Amino acid sequence: MYQDKRKIRAVYLIIDLFFISLCFCLAYRLNSNLIPFGLSGIKAYSQVFVFWGIVLIFFLNNYRLYFTDRSLSIIYEWRMVCKCVLFSCILAALFIFGLKIDVFSRLVFIESTFLLLFGVSIWRMFKRIYVRHLIRQGYFNCNVLIVGAGKIGLELLEQIKGSSYLGLKVIGFLDDVKITAVGGYKVLGRISDLEDNVKKYFIDEIFVTIPSERKVVSDIILKGIKLGKSIRIAAEHFNLPFRRVGLNYLGFIPLITYSQGKTHGAEGVIKRLLDAVLAGGGLLLLSPVFLVIAFLIKLDNPGPIFYISKRCGRKGKVFNFYKFRSMIYDADSYKESLKGRSEVDGPIFKIRQDPRITKLGKFLRKYSLDELPQLINVLKGDMSLVGTRPFPVEESERIENKYILRLNIKPGITGLAQINGRSDLVFRHWVKWDSWYINNWSLGLDLKILWWTIPAVLKGKGAY
C-alpha cells in the first residue's frame, strides 16, 4: 500500500512537471517577439521559470496536493491550486525584482500565471472525476467498522451511503446492546470484540459513535494504534447551534472548543447585494423563458400562470410566494382529501404521484423551472438565493419548537437540502441540513451551493 502511494505521488509530480513546463513554453513562444535575442535573454527566462516551477511544486506538496484525499471537492482542490499558484507568483516576482531581471516581460509573467492556473488545475479536475468513477465501481474501497449502533451510528451509516465517492464500505457494527442488525447491517459483536473483528474483516477505518465513555473510547484508540488503523470519532453535540468547532491546546491538554463565532455585518450587506444583482440579472436574461413557460401553461391547462401562496419567512414574517403553476386550477381545495396519502414524514405535505400535477407541471418540477418566479421574491427582499426553503404558513405552524431555528434567516430558492436529495429527504434530515447551513454560513458556502445546484437540477432527481 505504501509503495502504491509513493508511485501515485510520483505520477502526480511528473504530470505537474509536464504541465508547468508546457505553460512556461507556451507563454515564452506566444511572446517571443518581446524577448531579447541571445544567451542572456534565454538564461534570464530559464532562471525565472526553473525557480518558479520549484516553488510551485513546493507549495503543491505543502498543501498535500500530491495525495489522493477522497474528501476533497473539485472546487476546494481548485482553490488550493489557486493559492499555490498565487504564492509561487509572489515569490517569482520577488525573485525577478531581487535579481533585477529587467528583460523579463510583464506580459509573459501574467500569461504564465493564467496558464499555470488552467494547466495545473484542469488535469486534477479530470483526475478526481475519474477516481470517483473508479471508487463507485468498487475500486480502492475502505472497509469500515462502526462502533456504536445507536442513533448517531445510524445517522453516520446514512451519510456514508449517501457519499459513495468516499469509497467507504460499511462491514458492520459493534455494540454492547443486544441487537442483531442496524439499517440492514449486522451487529458483529460487542465493543470488546474490536480486535478480532478488525482482523477477521480486514477493517481499514474505525468510526466511533458511542456517547461519552472515556475509558471505552481510550481503549478503542489504543487498540486502533496497535492495529495500525485510522480512528474517527463522531463529535458530540454536533447537532447543537454552534458556528465554530475547533481543536486547540491548553498546555498539553487538547480541547474541543464549541463557539457561536461572529458574522460581520458587512457580510450580510454583501449577501443582500449579491442577491439583488443576480436576481435582477436573472430576471432580465430569463425573460424569454418566462414568456415561453407562461404560454405553455395557458396552452396546457386553464387557470392563472402563477401560483401564489402564503409562506413564512425570516422571524415568521408572512409573504406572497411566487411559482409557475404546475397543478390544476384550484388544486388547494383538493389538498384536505389527499392528506392521508402524504409520503413525507413531519408537517410537510408531499405526494410522489400527485394527481393534481399537470403534464407540463411534471416537467417544470423535475427541472425546478416552476421555481424561477422566486427571483421576484429575492429582488423584493422576502427571500435570498440561498437559504432554508419556506414552508406554507399552515405547515410552519405545525413545526416543533426545536426546528424554529430555521426561521432565523431569510428562506432561499436553493439550499443544502435541495442539493442533497430535494423531496426525497426525510423531514429530520431536511431540517438538519438547514441547521448545519445556519450554523456554518459564509459567503463562500453560498457560492458553493449555487454552483452545486446546477448539476442537482440538471439530474432532475428527487423533485416532485
pLDDT tens digit sequence for 58-86: 999 998 888 877 777 788 889 899 999 99
Chain-wide mean pLDDT for the chain? 83
Place of cell 523579463: 104
Confidence of residue 258 (pLDDT cuts 50, 70, 90): low
Q: How far apart are CA 322 and CA 411, in angstroms?
A: 13
Mean pLDDT of 208-222: 80
Judge contact between 234 and 154, C-beta under 8 A. Answer: no
Distance (Å, whole) CA 158 – CA 209? 13
- Per-residue model confidence (pLDDT) at position 225: 82
Of the ranges 196-200, 208-212, 418-422, which one carries the lowest mean pLDDT score? 418-422
What 3-state DSSP class applies to 233?
Answer: strand
What are the beta bridge partners of residue 145? 172, 206
Q: Check whether 156 has a pLDDT greater than 70.
A: yes
DSSP conformation class of 1: -
The per-type count for the chain, helices as H runs and strands as E runs, is 16, 12
Higher pLDDT, 417 or 379: 379
Return d(Cα 156, Cα 209) in angstroms, integer.
8
pLDDT band, residue 34 (cuts 50/70/90):
low
**Backbone angles phi and psi of 264, in degrees to 5:** -65, 135
How many Å apart are CA 415 and CA 428, to the nearest integer?
15
The answer to whether the CB of 105 falls within 8 A of the CB of 29 is: no
The top-scoring range by mean pLDDT among 6-10, 291-295, 358-362 is 291-295
pLDDT class of 2 with cuts at 50, 70, 90: very low
Q: State whether CATH 3.40.50.20 applies to domain 142-234.
A: yes
To the nearest 10°, report the CA torsion of 271, 273, 274, 279.
120
Q: What pLDDT score was predicted for residue 198?
A: 92
160: nearest Cα among 175, 172, 176: 172
How far is the C-alpha of 260 from the C-alpha of 244, rounded, in Å?
6
Longest dimension (CA), the chain: 87
Number of other residues whose CB lies within 10 A of the CB of residue 111: 18
Each residue's pLDDT tens digit, 352-383 = 777 788 889 889 888 889 999 999 999 999 99
pLDDT of residue 266: 63
* Residue 452 predicted with pLDDT over 80: yes
pLDDT average, residue stretch 306-318: 87
pLDDT-derived band at 236, boundaries 50, 70, 90:
low
- The helix (run of H) or strand (run of E) holding residue 220 is helix 214-227
**Section 204-213 average pLDDT:** 83
Please indicate whether residue 268 or residue 336 has the higher confidence score (pLDDT).
268
373 CB contacts (<8 Å, ≥6 apart)?
290, 306, 322, 323, 324
Q: Where are the domains of the chain?
A: 2-136, 142-234, 265-459
pLDDT of residue 89: 93
Task: Inform me whether the pLDDT recorded for 404 exceeds 70.
Answer: no
Confidence of residue 344 (pLDDT cuts 50, 70, 90): low
The count of other CB atoms within 10 Å of the CB of residue 202 is 8
pLDDT at 293: 93
Q: What is the pLDDT of residue 56?
A: 94
Task: Indicate whether 181 pLDDT > 80.
Answer: yes
Alpha helices for 69-180 (secondary structure H): 74-98, 106-136, 151-161
Average pLDDT in the 108-120 region?
Answer: 92
Rounded CA-CA distance 256/298 in Å is 58
Q: How confident is the model at residue 290 (pLDDT cuts 50, 70, 90)?
A: very high
**Partner residues linked to 312 by β-bridges:** 318
Rounded Cα–Cα distance for residues 198 and 206 (Å): 9
Q: How confident is the model at residue 253 (pLDDT cuts 50, 70, 90)?
A: confident
Supply the angle between the helices 265-285 and 287-300 in degrees, to the nearest 10.
60
CA distance 393 to 395: 5
Distance, CA of 428 to CA of 195 (rounded, Å) = 35
Amino acid at 455: P
DSSP, res 107: H
The per-residue pLDDT for 115 is: 93
pLDDT number for residue 383: 92
Report, as an integer, the average pLDDT of 384-401. Answer: 78
Instruction: Answer for the pair 108, 35: CB distance below 8 angstroms, yes or no.
Output: yes
- Nearest residue to 422 via CA among 380, 381, 370, 383: 370
Return d(Cα 381, Cα 271) in angstroms, integer: 11
